[in-house]
Every structure is written in structure tokens, then in C-alpha cells.
Amino acid sequence: MYHRDHVSYQALALPDRVQLSPDDAMRAAMAFRDYMKKRHSVRDYAPDPVPEAVISACIEAAGSAPSGANRQPWHFVAISDPAIKARIRTAAEEEERAFYEGGGGDEWLRALEPIGTGAQKPHLEVAPWLIVIFAQRYGVTSDGHRYKNYYVPESVGIATGLLIAAIHHAGLVCLEHTPNPMRFLNAQCGRPENEKPVMILPVGYPAADATVPAVAKIKKPLAEIMTVLRG
């Protein structure tokens, strides 16, 4: 968190210890792994309402993420207003049509074919909540002083991962939606120029007939994503 005045380092005894025995750690790690494997990016939503308090708790969990110099360079806009969601859908679909009509390039469009996506984004209206994630490229104090943030993409990426995990932990589903470009979201969400929109997360319960692309269940095996250098 930014301070204009000099703030000296002060050590604080570790306030929370969650250390487990090796056996309990193995059980906890495997249980979390298995539960996260049940997470899916979903495009089909039920219109059932989700309490605002649930969304707030998920965002608060995301806000606990580590960040460069503890600047916490993120902002989350939670939207349930149908009119705003409709405007975001209209603007997003305009960008998506340009993308799918060739703006994305042949290679990118071929890569998306197994996912089954298209320019139509009804989930942006059907989902009871949209969470728009903004990255603060630099900070601005209340009196207009501009200051630097550090490791912004990395910090916001970590917070977004925590948010997605929290949403799943709450029994909800979401979809990582990134229309390109996304600058229209600043105006729709009333966010300042120093913030860059990086993602829209529709959040809610899956529809009774929700589907996911079969290819989404194909994950790289552990041997391809992990290298161990033993001592």
C-alpha cells in the first residue's frame, strides 16, 4: 500500500500459522487438487440470484493476494444491474464480431475452434453478476499525486487466480472473458484512466443444461508442467 511519507520496516510476528503435519499436508493438498479439478469455465448460466455478500467475500479473498511492494494494484467492479450488463454485452459483442470476422488472425481462430466460442455472448446478461477486473497501471492519490506500481500484471494475475478459486469454493462458476480491446469498460464501470481492464468474469450458478467443451478436460500431465531438481 502506497504511503507518501517514509514508512520504516517493522517486523510482525507471524499472525496466522496453518502448518500441517506431512500426512495432513498430503491429504489437504490432494483434496484441494481434486476439488480444483472440478472447476470449469462455464458459458451457460442459470438466472438464479447470488447474494452480494457472497461476491464480496470472494473479492475480499482476491484482495488478500500478494503484490509487488504491497501496492495491491487492482480494482474489482461487481455488477448486477441489468442495464449495465446489457451495455457491456453490446459493446463486447461489437469487439468480438470484429475479432471473429478476421481481426483475430487465422492461427488464433483455429486455436479457438475446439472451444466452440463465437461473437454472441448472452452469458454477459444471463449471469447474475459480472466482475470486471482492472489493473492499476499506476496509482493516484486523492490529491492527484501519481506513483509507480510494481509487477502489475503478475500481481493482478495472482489476485485473479485467487478470485476464481474463491468463486469455485463458493459453489459458483465463472468464465474468463477477455474481449479485445476492452477500453470501453472504463466508461461503463466509471473507472479512471490509470486503470486497465483485463478481464470480465460472469459469475453465477450453471444452467441445468450447461455444457463445457470436451477439449477443456484435456490437461497437460504433471510430467509436462513440473520439473524437480532434487538435492
Global pTM exceeds 0.75: yes
Q: So what's the pLDDT on residue 129?
A: 98
Give dist(CA 53, CA 81) in Å, integer. Answer: 16
Give dist(CA 145, CA 141) in Å, integer. Answer: 5
Burial class (CB within 10 angstroms; exposed 0-12, middle 13-18, buried 19+) of 63 = middle
Q: What are phi and psi of 95, to 5 degrees?
A: -65, -40
User: What's the number of CA atoms in the CB half-sphere (13 Å) around residue 151?
Assistant: 13
Pick out the chain residues at pLDDT < 70.
none
Q: So what's the pLDDT on residue 64?
A: 98
Q: What is the DSSP code string of 158-219?
A: HHHHHHHHHHHHTT-EE--B--SS-THHHHHHT--TTEEEEEEEEEEPBPTT----GGGG--
Q: So what's the pLDDT on residue 226?
A: 98
Q: So what's the pLDDT on residue 30?
A: 98
Domain 47-208 has CATH 3.40.109.10: yes
Report pLDDT digits (tens) over 88-120.
Answer: 999 999 999 998 998 888 998 999 999 999 999
Q: So what's the pLDDT on residue 17?
A: 93
